[in-house]
Amino acid sequence: MRKKIVTSVVGIALAAAPFAVAQSKKPAPKKPAAAAPAGKAKSSTSSGMVVVKDPVTGALRAPTAEEYQALTNGGTVSGGTSRTSGPQTAVKGGGAVAEAAVGTQVLHPDGTVSVRLDDSHAVFAVATRTPDGKIVLGEVTGIQAANAAVSKTGKAKTAAKGKADASNEK
């Protein structure tokens, strides 16, 4: 039962990405978020596509100018300038949040805003065996960084516990 739900969600999520790309409007010089490879999703989220969950139909659509304004200037806390300036993309469909592309802000009828995340924000634990045979655990953000940490074995940056530089040097 649980399994079934999950499988269907995955299906929608995978299908949504190419669909969002196909629907991108003309003036979209930047890569649409959904098209960005996982590791580049940080830049995709900051390019910031936005869609609106229509209050009447429940479907996702491009925001009106007013909605866009409300979404991107919604009282940003001081110090944070909004970088939500990317292309607006219409995504049709049933209205599940998972349907929106990764990094796309979805404005819901009650004012809630959601963003689906991908591997670029996940924290990956990496284990490395040190020359003396110990296993040291560290972490990196995103699958690309995780892959890179493994590829340079022994050089993976890991947090050292305790006091550094305690040698009896001068």
Between residue 132 and residue 151, which ones bind Zn ion under the rule CB under 5 A?
139
Helix (H, G, I), strand (E, B) or coil at 135: strand
User: Of 88-127, which residues contact other proteins (CB under 8 A)?
Assistant: 96-98, 103, 105, 110-117, 119, 121-127
Nearer to other proteins, 10 or 22 (CB): 10
Give the single-character DSSP code of 89: B
4's contact among other proteins, Zn ion, none, with CB below 5 to 8 A by partner kind, is none
96 binds, among other proteins, Zn ion, none (CB under 5 to 8 A by kind): other proteins
Enclosing H/E stretch for 124: strand 123-129
Q: Answer yes or no whether residue 67 interacts with Zn ion by CB under 5 A.
A: no
The Cα–Cα gap between 149 and 122 comes to 15
Beta strand 123-129 with 135-141: parallel, antiparallel or unpaired?
Answer: antiparallel
Chain residues 22-61 in contact with other proteins, contact rule CB under 8 A: 42, 45-46, 48
Q: Of the candidates 97, 84, 78, 68, which has an alpha carbon nearest to the alpha carbon of residue 33?
A: 84
How, if at all, do strands 105-107 and 135-141 pair? unpaired
The stretch near other proteins (CB under 8 A) out of 19-27, 57-65, 150-158 is 150-158
Nearer to other proteins, 26 or 32 (CB): 32
Give 57 or 85: the residue with its C-beta nearer to other proteins.
85
Return the residue matching tokens 């940003």.
Answer: 76
By beta-carbon proximity to other proteins, the closer residue of 19 and 139 is: 139
Tokens at 122, concatenated = 């996940």
Q: Which stretch binds other proteins (CB under 8 A): 15-23, 24-32, 58-66, 158-166?
A: 158-166
Of 62, 148, 40, 59, give the one whose Cα is nearest residue 99.
59
Name the site residues for Zn ion (rule: CB under 5 A): 139
